[in-house]
Amino acid sequence: MSPKEIEYRTPSTNWQTLAFWEGCGRGELVLQRCQDCGIVQHRPRGLCASCLSSSLDHFVASGRAKVHTFTITHQNGMPAFRDACPYVLAYVDLEEGPRLMTHIVGCAPESVFIDMAVRADFVITDKDLGIPRFVPA
């Protein structure tokens, strides 16, 4: 495991993303579902990316996902990441459909594999917002 956690900053929010970041602050993965075509989307937007409807609902997702692909980062000079190397940057496929870029934590980087079952875990920042990352399920 990494000697130190990545130092996550407070997310920058706007009217399209606030519900997502606030959900993470409560330990919930909040996604959008289009009321017109039913698609579930992430990243959060003001319109449905499929049919351009503005009728979007927010709902709490299961937090369950599988690793789609990943890479292990061994060098990153940015101060927030430098001491956390090696760490895992991954795309995970959420049970509800969307693919999310995230970190896999809570396990040795070399133990991560494609199709690995993972679940959402959150780092709470100030302003009661949060950052999602995933741990082995």
* Interface stretch with Zn ion, choices 18-26, 37-45, 85-93, 108-116 (CB under 5 A): 37-45
- Residue 39, classed as helix, strand or coil, is coil
The CB-of-117 to Zn ion minimum distance in angstroms stands at: 29
The CB-of-64 to Zn ion minimum distance in angstroms stands at: 23
Q: Tokens 């979007």, residue?
A: 56
Distance CA 78, CA 74 (A): 12
Strand ranges (E), 1-137:
30-34, 40-41, 56-60, 64-73, 87-94, 99-104, 117-124, 130-136
Per rule CB under 5 A, is residue 49 in the interface with Zn ion?
no
Closest to 22 (Cα-Cα) out of 58, 72, 74, 68: 58
Per rule CB under 5 A, is residue 55 in the interface with Zn ion?
no
Task: Say if residues 44 and 32 touch (Cβ distance below 8 Å).
Answer: yes
Q: For Zn ion, give the closer residue by CB, 34 or 92.
A: 34
* Interface stretch with Zn ion, choices 5-13, 52-60, 94-102, 109-117 (CB under 5 A): 52-60
Per rule CB under 5 A, is residue 35 in the interface with Zn ion?
no
Per rule CB under 5 A, is residue 51 in the interface with Zn ion?
yes
Site residues (vs Zn ion, CB under 5 A): 34, 36-37, 48, 50-51, 53
